[in-house]
Structures are given as structure tokens and as C-alpha cells.
């Protein structure tokens, strides 16, 4: 079974959310890390999958795949998630 780009977009959103949950549970383990290392972990685990998911959703729309609502949902959720965490990464003290 071939995975559509819209489905991959939503799966990447789920990966980002799962990584957020894991980071929340294991936040105590990050206390000894430098702020730069925390930013790299946040960027690679939270921002990049969501950004890739948004790109996959847009590609799904451009390819005119069947489930347009799925692609739009993936674009909206991933974009909001990525932008929020990008702002947190950039402006966190």
C-alpha cells in the first residue's frame, strides 16, 4: 500500500506531538545540557518534522490527491506547530 503525501503529513504531525510529549516527560534529564544543545534537540525533534509535514501537505495539494481535506488539515496543523516551536526556539531566553 502506497502512503499518500497527505497521510505522511499527518503522521509527521503525530511524530512531532509524540516528541513533545517525550520531551515533557524527560525534561529533568535536560537540566544539565547547554541551551544550544536544547535548541538543537527542539529544532530536530519538534520543528523539522512539522516543517516537513507542512511541505508534504502542500505537495499533496499540488499533486491534487484525492483527500484534499486531509492535506489541508496536515498543512494547517503542521504549520501552526512548526511556527509556534520556531518562535519558542528563537525567543526563549
User: Could you tell me the residue ranges of all domains in the chain?
Assistant: 5-91
The region of weakest confidence among 10-19, 30-39, 79-88 is 30-39
Cell numbers at 53, concatenated? 509535514
pLDDT tens digits for 45-64? 889 999 999 999 999 999 99
pTM, whole model, 2 decimals? 0.88
pLDDT at 49 (0 to 100)? 94
Amino acid at each position: 500500500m502506497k502512503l499518500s503525501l497527505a497521510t505522511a503529513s499527518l503522521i509527521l504531525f503525530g511524530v512531532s506531538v509524540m516528541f513533545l510529549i517525550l520531551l515533557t516527560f524527560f525534561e529533568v534529564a535536560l537540566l544539565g545540557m547547554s541551551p544550544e544543545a536544547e535548541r538543537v534537540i527542539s529544532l530536530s525533534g519538534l520543528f523539522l518534522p512539522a516543517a516537513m509535514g507542512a511541505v508534504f501537505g502542500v505537495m499533496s495539494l499540488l499533486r491534487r490527491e484525492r483527500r484534499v481535506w486531509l492535506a489541508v488539515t496536515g498543512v494547517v496543523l503542521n504549520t501552526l506547530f512548526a511556527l509556534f516551536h520556531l518562535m519558542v526556539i528563537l525567543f526563549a531566553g
